[in-house]
Amino acid sequence: MKAPEATGTAVPSWMVAHDRLFIGGRWVPGTGEVIEVVSPTTEQVIARVPSASVADMALAVQAARHALDTGPWPQLELAERLALVAELARLMRAEQEAIAQLITAEMGCPITQSRTIQAVTPVRVVESYLQIARQHPFREIRRSSTGAALVTREPVGVVAAVTPWNVPLGISTQKVVPALIAGCTVVLKPAPQTPLVGYLLAQLVERAGFPPGVLNVVPADRAASERLVSHPGVDKVTFTGSTAAGRRIAALCGNDLRRVSLELGGKSAAVVLDDADLEQAVAALQMGAFRNNGQVCTLKTRILVSPRREAELVERLAAMVGGLAVGDPRQDATDIGPVVSADQRARVEGYIASGRDEGATLVTGGGRPAGQDRGWFVEPTVFSDVSPDMLVSREEIFGPVVAVTRYRDEAEAVALANDTPYGLSGAVFTADLERGLRVAGRMRTGVVELNGAPIGLGAPFGGFKDSGLGRENGPEGLDAFTELRSIGLPGDFRPTL
């Protein structure tokens, strides 16, 4: 692995201490402890923000409840809400470089990926929902032989949005924007590792002119977060994170019959069929398996190949990984930056050790890159000869580690792809697209990419099995923040829609 030159870039001026929470349209003092934001690159504290207490969280829910029950937001015409959301998109587009720099500083995503993905995707999410909302059937008349009804999609209510650190703004917009369009109010709880992005979103919402209390932003620890998702003033929880945390949230919500959407972990398989173009497949897997330093839930970290193509595929993978530049994520030349924390690096290194101990072949990587004395770096790693029962094949690592497993035939390839408690994403590489579609149709997963083709923001995203409940993006993502109401109509009544 190559290392780009180190940088002496100073901490930008926007990385300062924040001593307020954004609640009810105002910046109010927090009553909890302080969160220190630590750079995964330098291991230095780059910012301090308040950690919302249980009392702060209750205040945020109260503000959102007030804005829903007595404020203008749910009663606005759809076009009025869309105009404010469009202004938010305009402001986000204008701040893309600041967003990219902020995400790279907070969680170590390589700056080129922050610029082309992390800062761009949120704007595209907003624009996609604006287009979808203009065509969405918020009010429709349904007639049948037994009667006629006006069917309306009403805002589900106060939404608690709990977001992770790996795609902090993109995932926040996937939750906040459709909720706002639907007429809901939101309490956003960003991850403690990346609270600064949440602050930036709050500032943009304030500048866009949203009514007070429509969006509230409160970074918090686990106790206050648990209070948020179990608060009786919350009608819906939307969460992205680990499956273990998702189970806990589902249990808390289930007790009160609170609506919940969960986007959880993954251990996705890439099925490489014998007729696949291996050069194209490996090129796609550079981002498909190692994007964001291996810290994306949809990455294809299990690569399935037959013995007939295995040696060539492993050789090509090793060459690709060996050519990745590992180092300071602020440098344009960097392909792989640090993982988010010391604990995360220890977790990744534990899985690498288990792969060695269980008999997998270490093809490349497996250690810490030379010359990186500061920062939580892990070399991108490829294992081959991985059996399906090994930990590196079974469990989500959330680091730059992939496992290559061989299959005998197509039936076993599908069986191995499905031999996981997860079902979030997957891929099929083949020259025969019809065959690829047939294989994709047998995979028990919410998303399948054919030859690396992305599904786009107009299609629903989410998982089967332990990968979650519900869907984001597309019309389905907007419906997730609505409740259906049916009003019986007399036969001669023709309401205005």
What residues are annotated to the active site? 263, 297
The angle at the Cα of 435, spanning 309 to 314, to the nearest 5 degrees, equals 20
Backbone angles phi, psi at 18, to 5 degrees: -110, 125
Distance of CA 9 to the CA centre of its chain: 29
Q: Which residues in 390-495 belong to E strands, given as ranges?
A: 401-406, 422-423, 426-429, 449-450, 464-465, 468-469, 482-489
413-419 contacts, C-beta under 8 A, 24 or more apart: 413/271, 413/273, 413/304, 413/306, 413/439, 414/271, 414/439, 414/442, 414/443, 416/269, 416/302, 416/304, 416/388, 417/269, 417/271, 417/302, 417/304, 417/443, 417/445, 418/442, 418/443, 418/444, 419/388
Among 397, 227, 160, smallest CA distance to 302 is for 397
For 322-362, the DSSP string reads HT-BBS-TTSTT-SB---S-HHHHHHHHHHHHHHHHTT-EE
Secondary structure class of 220 (helix, strand, coil): strand
N residues, the chain: 497
CA dist., res. 106 & res. 194, Å (int): 6
Among 59, 75, 76, 74, smallest CA distance to 25 is for 59
Tell me which H or E stretch contains 105. helix 96-107
Read off the amino acid at residue 388: P
Secondary structure class of 232 (helix, strand, coil): coil
Backbone angles phi, psi at 302, to 5 degrees: -115, 120
